[in-house]
Amino acid sequence: MPESIKPSNLATVAIIYAGGTIGMMPTDKGLAPAGNMAERLEVALAALPDERQSVLPQYNLITLTPLIDSSNAQPENWYQLAQLLWQLHDQYQGFVLLHGTDTLAYTASALSFLTQGFLKPIVVTGSQYPLEADGSDALNNVEGALLSAQQQVLQEVVVAFGGKLLRGNRCTKVSTYSHQAFSSPNAEALGYWQEGGLVVNKSQLLNTDQKGTGYLTTLRLNHLAYKECQIAVVKLHPGLPIMQLSALFSAPIQAVVLETFGSGNAPDQNKQLMQYLSDANQAGLVIVNLSQCAEGSVSMSYATGSALADCGIISAYDMTCEAAITKLHWLLQVCSTSNEIKKAFADIYCGEFHVS
């Protein structure tokens, strides 16, 4: 639950502080989430040149309690954040979410599905280093996020990090230390900022038909209780034993993201494996074919890939693993059968994949 705040009639942006490295301070056990973020942000932003401060929107800061170390983030946190965003929807023109980087891409992906039809900027950011640390990337990311949150042309979930705006469900964390922590390997950046100047690549923004209501938006999450979902991620490797799959695929697992070789290939000569996957599909398990490669798409054009399609496994095209997992979570909430999930998974809702 967020701490109570005193709304300002002048504020156009809400900053939701969920935790993460950006707000951490040293403790006896290492860096840990810390409070007083409103005052700390005010001090940090005051260090910007006057001309850069002048173009930033006024904001209210909302602090979640308790704060979340993103390594401890759970799927129910995605739904709590989405509910909060919907509750605040009519009060602000845009939103910034300060979040830890470890699971930032999961949260951004999940929110893209849970806020379909929101039609306002939701900008997720954080930092590799704490706000007050020497050489920190935090202030630059916050500045970029605030600039982005007042851009009404941005009607989707975006990640603002390292000078780039990326679609929330198309990015993944690629570095543990670099200020360029996130990449969008299969989609162009939506924009860039530098020293207070923001450029939005309008040609890359969502089309009108990708801003629709979706299954969940009509409920605005107010009447939907989060149901725990059981999803496994399995990475194929040479010599993967069937016994291992048996343990991973057994109940209560409802869906599996199967990370395959190349453009969606699997060892089709392993008849025992193919039969096992086919049987699992027939039993109602939803299995998604996702390439282990960061760039490129599942095509199933090779015989080794088409064999998976013959087993009833569905393509994730060029989705990130984070997007595939969170999309499955969302569909497991709103779909009644595995066949319904498979059909829905193949549709594009908010730019999460591209079909070449």
Domain boundaries, the chain: 13-210, 227-345
Separation of alpha carbons 144 and 151, rounded Å: 11
CA-CA distance, 228 to 221, in Å (whole number)? 15
- The reported pLDDT for the residue numbered 213 is 54
| DSSP letters for 231-268 | EEEEE--TT--HHHHHHHHSTT--EEEEEEBTTTB--T
| Active-site residue flag, 21 | yes
Q: Which CATH class is domain 13-210?
A: alpha beta
Each residue's pLDDT tens digit, 146-173: 999 999 999 999 999 999 999 999 999 9
4 — pLDDT class (breaks 50, 70, 90): very low
Count of H helices and E strands in the chain? 11, 16
- Answer yes or no: is 347 a known binding residue: no
Position 7 pLDDT exceeds 50: no
CATH 3.40.50.720 fits 227-345, yes or no: no
Residue 218's pLDDT is what? 44
Taking residues 23-30, what's their average pLDDT? Answer: 87
Could you read off the pLDDT of 296-352 as tens digits, one per residue? 999 866 666 689 999 999 999 999 999 999 999 999 998 989 999 999 999 999 999
**Does 291 count as an annotated binding residue?**
no
Answer for the pair 97, 16: CB distance below 8 angstroms, yes or no.
yes
Q: Cα 110 from chain centroid?
A: 5
- The reply, when asked if residue 336 is annotated as ligand binding, is no
- Using alpha carbons, list the distances in angstroms from residue 326 to 2, 197, 209, 240: 23, 32, 21, 26
What is the arithmetic mean of pLDDT over 119-138?
Answer: 96
260 is catalytic: no
Residue 273 pLDDT > 90, yes or no? yes
Tens digits of residue pLDDT in 72-105: 999 999 999 999 999 999 999 999 999 999 999 9
Average pLDDT value for residue range 246-264 = 90
Q: What pLDDT, on a 0 to 100 scale, did the predictor assign at position 5?
A: 46
Q: What pLDDT, in 10s, does the model give residues 97-128? A: 999 999 999 999 999 999 999 999 999 999 99
Mean pLDDT calculated for residue range 220-226 = 56
Residue 11's pLDDT is 75
Residue 21 scores a pLDDT above 90: yes
More confident residue, 195 or 131: 131
* Strands of the 255-260 sheet, one edge to the other: 231-235, 255-260, 286-291, 314-315
Give the pLDDT band of residue 69 (cuts 50, 70, 90): confident
What does the pLDDT average to over 194-201?
93
Out of 63, 101, 103, 115, the active site residue is 101
What is the pLDDT, as a whole number, of residue 9?
Answer: 54
For the chain, the average pLDDT equals 90
Amino acid 209: pLDDT: 67
Are both 13-210 and 227-345 of the same fold?
Answer: yes
Q: Residue 219's pLDDT is what? A: 45
What is the model's pLDDT at position 31? 85
